[in-house]
């Protein structure tokens, strides 16, 4: 868990489990998979178990206490090493022992805690590459009245995934955001921004030794589209090496 995350658009990160399966070309150089392999954890892929992160519940309580202490609302990204709306998967403990639960048990515990108001000072950013699963796995009452401290997000990387994923995300009620990372080609969000479907846009290029190129004009286009529609826009990075131009040092948050 991260008390001081390096992800600029969130205060904290929380992971109920570690592990995932790649779903589109944006996943090709997944940092979370690389970290897992570095530690010898075989938890990536459609036929692999996910590793339980048992400390998450104490950490969320700690996050709530810290935010309440300073009378602030803190953003919590769920999750940097998992996909909260992946289909139910088997779970192993730290030592690799199979547990008698699935990831859905963990997901539903989080949703129940949020519904019960345990984290009034935390704003949960539930990011997924599988927005078609959101309405399948959220509590029934969230489908009509999701909690005010939850935002549903997805991660398109080109125009094709934008069309597919935003069509799916539009069917979910509540606040919605995009994390367009890594962006791989020029794309437009204008139809969805004008329709009021997206409440916040985060954008960035890829970092790391196998990074793919990012054109800053892609960022300028989305900055203009967001400004024209009054949508908060957050530009994260070009590649973590090149400095961000002054005109793109825009870091707005949804409030």
Q: What is the pLDDT of residue 128?
A: 98
- Nearest partner of 236 among 185, 161, 180, judged by Cα: 180
Q: What is the pLDDT of residue 255?
A: 84
Residue 200: both structure tokens together: 């916040």
Mean pLDDT confidence for 196-212: 96
Mean pLDDT confidence for 153-180: 98
As its CATH architecture, domain 12-248 has: Alpha-Beta Barrel (3.20)
Those residues whose C-beta lies under 8 Å from the C-beta of residue 75, and which sit 6 or more positions away, are 9, 10, 11, 12, 122, 123, 125, 253
Q: What is the pLDDT of residue 2?
A: 47
Residue 216: both structure tokens together: 């800053």
Domain ranges in the chain are 12-248
Judged against a pLDDT cut of 50, whether residue 105 lies above it is answered with yes
Distances (CA, A) of 255 to 16, 39, 74, 149: 26, 37, 11, 11
28 or 170: which leads in pLDDT: 170
Mean pLDDT confidence for 109-123: 98
Mean pLDDT confidence for 181-185: 96
Q: What is the pLDDT of residue 1?
A: 46
Mean pLDDT confidence for 22-50: 88
At residue 36 the predicted structure's pLDDT band, cuts being 50, 70 and 90, is confident
Whole-number average pLDDT of the chain: 95
CA gap 5, 12 in Å, rounded = 6
- Nearest partner of 85 among 16, 183, 32, 156, judged by Cα: 16
């Amino acid at each position: 868990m991260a008390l001081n995350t390096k992800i600029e658009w969130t205060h904290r990160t929380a992971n109920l489990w570690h592990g995932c399966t790649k779903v589109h070309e944006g996943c090709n150089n997944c940092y979370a998979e690389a970290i897992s392999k570095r530690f010898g954890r075989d938890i990536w892929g459609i036929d692999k178990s996910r590793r339980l992160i048992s400390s998450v519940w104490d950490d969320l309580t700690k996050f709530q206490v810290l935010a309440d202490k300073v009378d602030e609302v803190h953003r919590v990204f769920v999750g940097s090493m998992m996909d909260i709306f992946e289909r139910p998967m088997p779970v192993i403990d730290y030592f690799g022992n199979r547990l008698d639960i699935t990831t859905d048990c963990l997901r539903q515990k989080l949703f129940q805690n949020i519904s019960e108001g345990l984290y009034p000072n935390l704003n949960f950013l539930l990011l997924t590459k599988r927005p078609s699963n959101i309405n399948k796995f959220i509590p029934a009452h969230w489908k009509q009245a999701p909690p005010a401290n939850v935002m549903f997000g997805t991660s398109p990387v080109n125009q094709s995934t934008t069309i597919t994923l935003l069509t799916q995300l539009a069917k979910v009620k509540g606040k919605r955001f995009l994390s367009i990372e890594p962006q791989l080609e020029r794309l437009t969000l204008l139809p969805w921004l004008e329709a009021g479907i997206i409440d916040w846009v985060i954008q960035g290029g890829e970092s790391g030794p196998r990074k793919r190129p990012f054109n800053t004009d892609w960022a300028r286009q989305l900055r203009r589209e967001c400004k024209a529609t009054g949508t908060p826009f957050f530009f994260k990075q070009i590649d973590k090496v090149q400095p961000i131009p002054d005109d793109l040092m825009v870091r707005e948050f949804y409030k």
